[in-house]
Structure 1
Amino acid sequence: MPFKKLQADLLFDGHRFRERQVLVLSEDEIVENIIDLDQAGSDIEKIEGILSPGFINCHCHLELSHLKGHIDENTGLPAFVRQVVQKRNFSEADILAAIEAAEAAMLQNGIVAVGDISNTLHTLAQKQKRAIYYHNFIEAMGFNPQVADSNFNSYQHIYNGFAEQFGPKQVSITPHAPYSVSEPLWQKVITHDNNGLLSIHNQETEEETLWFQQKTGGFADMFKAMGLNTDSFTASGKTSLQSYFHRFLPRQQVLLVHNVYTTKEDLAFIRQTGNKVFWCLCPNANQYISRALPDIAMFIKNEAAVVLGTDSLASNHQLSIWEEIQTLRKAHSNIPLELMLQWATSNGAKALKIEDQYGSFEKGKRPGMVQIINSEARRLY
C-alpha cells in the first residue's frame, strides 16, 4: 500500500510539538504513524511551517451566517440579542446561501468538526453533504413556564429532523442560557433521551451576574421591554453558574460557552460537581459584542479544560479558529502556542466526544490537516 510521508518545519501532533518527525498517512489520509526523520527513507513531502490536526470549532451558530455585517458592534449582550431577533427576516434563499458560504470558509480555514447551535432546520441540507462533522445542539429557550410543553414540542421536531439524518449520537436538545429557560422546560431538556452531551451559554455578560444575584440590570430591562413576566424568577444572591449548574445530571458532559465573567470560585465550584466540563472561549465574539475577554490566565492556572469556538457571523467577522487563537495571542503573548493548539484540536475533540477520529495524529484517525505559515492557517486535507 502506498503511503504519504509529510515532514513539516514543526509537527504539532494534537498534544505537543515534535521536531524532525515525519507523519505517515495512508492513501486516504488515515494516520499510520509518526516516525523519526532518520527512519523515514525517501519520498518525503516537505511542508512549510507548522502541520497540525484539523481544528475543532466547539461553538458556532451556522444558521445566523446571513446576519454578517448586519449587527452593530459593542452594544452589550442584551442589545445584541434584540438586534438578532429584530433582523432575522431574510429570505430562505439568502439564509441557505450564507450557510453554504460560511461552511466553505470554515473548511478553508482548517475546521473539520463543529459544535453547532440550531434553532431551525435551515442548516440541515448543507450538513447532509458531510463536508464537516457536526454535533447539532438544538437550542431550547422559553422563559414562561406556562408554555414549556409547546416550546419543547417545537424543539423535539427540530431534533427529530437532525436525528433522522445523523443519528442520536450527533444531536442534543440543550438549554440556551440560564436566564432564558424556565424550570419546567429545563427539566424536559436535561432528561431527554441521548442528552449525555450538552452546551449552554455561560456568564457571557456582567448583566447575567446582576440578574442572578439581584434581579436587576440589563436583563431585567430586556425582559420588561419584551413584555415577559419575571415573577417566577427569584434571585439567588450567587453567580449564575453556582445558581443553575446543579440542574444538570451527574452523567452529563457540559460545554460552558463564553465564560467572560467566570471567577476562580466558579471554577472551584465546578470541580466539586463531578461533571465533565469543558470551558469554550469565543474571544472574537466577546470583543465584537462587548469589548471583553475572559480571564485566560485564571483558566490556565486552574488547569481548566479549555476549548475554542467562533460563535456566529452575527458576532464575528469570520469563522476561523486560527483567528480566535491570534486574538488570544495578542492579548496574552506569554501563553505558549502549543497550549492554544491543544485547545483547538485534542481538547475540542474530547469536548464533542469525537476523539476516536479527530483532534490528534494517532494511528487509525483521520483528523484532517492544517498548515500554519506566517500567521495564516489553511486546510491541507
Structure 2
Amino acid sequence: MKSFKADYVYPVCADPIKNGIVTVDDFGKIISVIDPNLLPETFNAPVEQVSGIICPGFVNTHCHVELSHLKGKIDRRTGLVNFIIDIQKSRGADHARVLEAAEQADLEMHENGIVAVGDISNTNSTIPVKANSKLYYHSFIETFGFLPDRATEVFNNALSLLNEFKPQPCSITPHAPYSVSKELFRLIQKHCDNGHNLISIHNQECEDENKFYRYKLGSFNELYARFGIDISYFKPQARNSLQSILPLLTTRQDILLVHNTCTNLKDIYFLKRFDQKVHFCFCPNANLYIEGVLPKIELFIGQGYDITLGTDSLASNNKLCILSEMRTIQEKFPSITTKQLIEWGTLNGAKYLGIDDEKGTIEPGKTPGLNLITGLDGQKITPETKVKKLA
C-alpha cells in the first residue's frame, strides 16, 4: 500500500480536504481517504508528501483515436466544412501507421492521467489497441447517412461493426444532425429502445449547421454537392438543428451532446421540454482549432445537465489531455472554478459512461486512478500547471 498527503485532496464526492491523505493498494484500489484534522491521533503510517491537488483519474468523453495519424496534417481555423473535407481527403493511411498512431495516443492519454475514454469509431482499426489498453473504452460506432434510401444499409453496416467490437463496451450512434437522415435516426432510436445503447452526437459545431436547418442556406450545401449528395428532399425546419432532431433521439438512453459551439439559451430551454437524458461535452481546444470559436460554456451551468470534457482527435488538437482542456476553459471563463472543472473531468464523465461505481471519485473500494495536479496559483490552473499519474 501507498499513502499520499497533498495540499488538497479533491474526492469530488465531498468537499476538498486540506492536507488530505489517500491510501491506495498495489492494484489502485482506494483503501482510505483521511482528513488529518478529524483524526483523534497522528497518522503514523509511512506517507509520501506531495505538493498540489490529488484528484481522481480523468474521463475523456469524446475522442477519435483512429484519427491519431492525422496529427499536424489538417489546417487550423478553416471552419467545420473545410475540416470535414480535409479529414475525408487525408484519413486514408496504411493500417500499420493507423495502428501505431492509435497505440501512441492511448499511451499519451494514460500518461496524462486519463482512465476512461468515450471513443468514436468508424472502422475496426482500434479494436486491438482497446483490447490491450490500461484504459476503459466505450466505442461509439458512428453512422453517416443523409440520404433516406440508404438508412437501412448504413444501419446494418453499423450493426456488423458493432458485433466486431463486442464484447468491448460499444454502441451505435448518429454522427451529427447534418449527416443523418430522419429514417436513420428512427432506426437508431428503435435500436435504443431494445437494449442498452449510449448515444454521443456532434451538436451545433458551427453557425452554418443552424443556418442549414433553419433556411437551407450556408456552406453545408457546398459540402453535399462536393460529395455528390442530392438533398432536394430536405426541407428547412425554421429552427436550429438541435431543436429539429431532438424528437428523433431516444428517451431511454443517456445522450451526450458534443461541442455545442453555437448552442444558445433557446436551445437549452427547448431541451427542458423533452424527456431525454442529456449530458453536454465540451472540447474547447478542438473548437479553437477548427472554428476559432468557443461555446458559451457559462450558459450551461446550473441548467440541470451534467457537463463533461473531451479532447476530440489529434486531427483537431495538439494533445490528448483533459487538464489542457481545463486550462483553456479557466483562461477564457475565469469564473469557472478548478473544483467545477475537476468534477466535469472525472465524476460527470464516469456517470455518463456508467462506470461511476469504479471511477470518478476517490472513495474506499473504488479504483478511480489518482492524479497529482501541480503548478497551481493557489487552486487556480495556470500555464505551468501539470498532471502526473500517481496510481
Q: TM-score scaled to structure 2, two decimals?
A: 0.93
Give secondary structure in 2 for the equivalent of 1:24. strand
Matched residue, 1:327: 328
Task: Say whether residues 1:60 and 2:63 are aligned partners.
Answer: yes
Displacement of 1:190 after TM fit? Answer: 2.2
Matched residue, 2:389: 379
- How many residues matched? 375
Matched residue, 2:198: 197
Instruction: Give me the whole-angstrom Cα distance separating, in 2, the residues matched to 1:215 and 1:309.
Output: 30
Matched residue, 2:355: 354
Displacement of 1:195 after TM fit? Answer: 4.2
* Contact 1:172-1:194 at 8 Å conserved across structures: no
Displacement of 1:359 after TM fit? Answer: 0.4
Instruction: For 1:1-381, list aligned pairs within 5 A.
Output: 3-15=1-13, 16-37=15-36, 39=39, 40-163=43-166, 165-166=167-168, 170-192=169-191, 193-374=194-375, 375-381=385-391
Letter aligned with residue 25 of structure 2 = S
- In structure 2, the gaps of 5 or more residues are 376-384
* Contact 1:140-1:189 at 8 Å conserved across structures: no
Displacement of 1:28 after TM fit? Answer: 1.9
Give secondary structure in 2 for the equivalent of 1:245. helix
Displacement of 1:24 after TM fit? Answer: 2.4
Q: TM-score scaled to structure 1, two decimals?
A: 0.95
Is 67-76 or 294-303 further displaced after alignment? 294-303
Displacement of 1:154 after TM fit? Answer: 1.6
Instruction: Give me the whole-angstrom Cα distance separating, in 1, the residues matched to 2:150 and 2:275.
Output: 32
- In structure 1, the gaps of 5 or more residues are none
Letter aligned with residue 220 of structure 1 = N
Give secondary structure in 2 for the equivalent of 1:138. strand
Is 25-34 or 88-97 further displaced after alignment? 25-34
1:327-377 C-alpha deviation (Å, 9 max, x unpaired): 111111221111011100011111111111100011211001111111011
* Contact 1:173-1:195 at 8 Å conserved across structures: no
Matched residue, 2:382: none
Letter aligned with residue 26 of structure 2 = E
Instruction: Give me the whole-angstrom Cα distance separating, in 2, the residues matched to 1:323 and 1:68.
Output: 17
Letter aligned with residue 90 of structure 1 = A
Instruction: Give me the whole-angstrom Cα distance separating, in 1, the residues matched to 2:273 and 2:6.
Output: 42
Letter aligned with residue 138 of structure 2 = H
* Contact 1:55-1:345 at 8 Å conserved across structures: yes
Is 343-352 or 13-22 further displaced after alignment? 13-22
Instruction: Give me the whole-angstrom Cα distance separating, in 1, the residues matched to 2:90 and 2:195.
Output: 33
Give secondary structure in 1 for the equivalent of 2:7. strand
Instruction: Give me the whole-angstrom Cα distance separating, in 1, the residues matched to 2:302 and 2:340.
Output: 13
Letter aligned with residue 56 of structure 2 = P
Letter aligned with residue 360 of structure 1 = T
* Contact 1:174-1:190 at 8 Å conserved across structures: no
Letter aligned with residue 177 of structure 1 = A
Give secondary structure in 1 for the equivalent of 2:179. coil
Instruction: Give me the whole-angstrom Cα distance separating, in 1, the residues matched to 2:120 and 2:74.
Output: 18
Give secondary structure in 1 for the equivalent of 2:372. strand
Instruction: Give me the whole-angstrom Cα distance separating, in 2, the residues matched to 1:276 and 1:183.
Output: 20
Letter aligned with residue 10 of structure 2 = F
Displacement of 1:124 after TM fit? Answer: 0.3
Letter aligned with residue 286 of structure 1 = N
* Contact 1:74-1:291 at 8 Å conserved across structures: yes
Is 28-37 or 250-259 further displaced after alignment? 28-37
* Contact 1:77-1:205 at 8 Å conserved across structures: yes
Displacement of 1:295 after TM fit? Answer: 0.4
Letter aligned with residue 8 of structure 1 = A
1:107-150 C-alpha deviation (Å, 9 max, x unpaired): 00000000000000010001001311011100011111112222
Distance 1:106 1:264, change over 3 A: same
Instruction: Give me the whole-angstrom Cα distance separating, in 1, the residues matched to 2:198 and 2:91.
Output: 28
Give secondary structure in 2 for the equivalent of 1:338. helix
* Contact 2:215-2:237 at 8 Å conserved across structures: yes
1:139-183 C-alpha deviation (Å, 9 max, x unpaired): 0111111122221222111100111x32xxx21100000110112
Give secondary structure in 2 for the equivalent of 1:330. helix
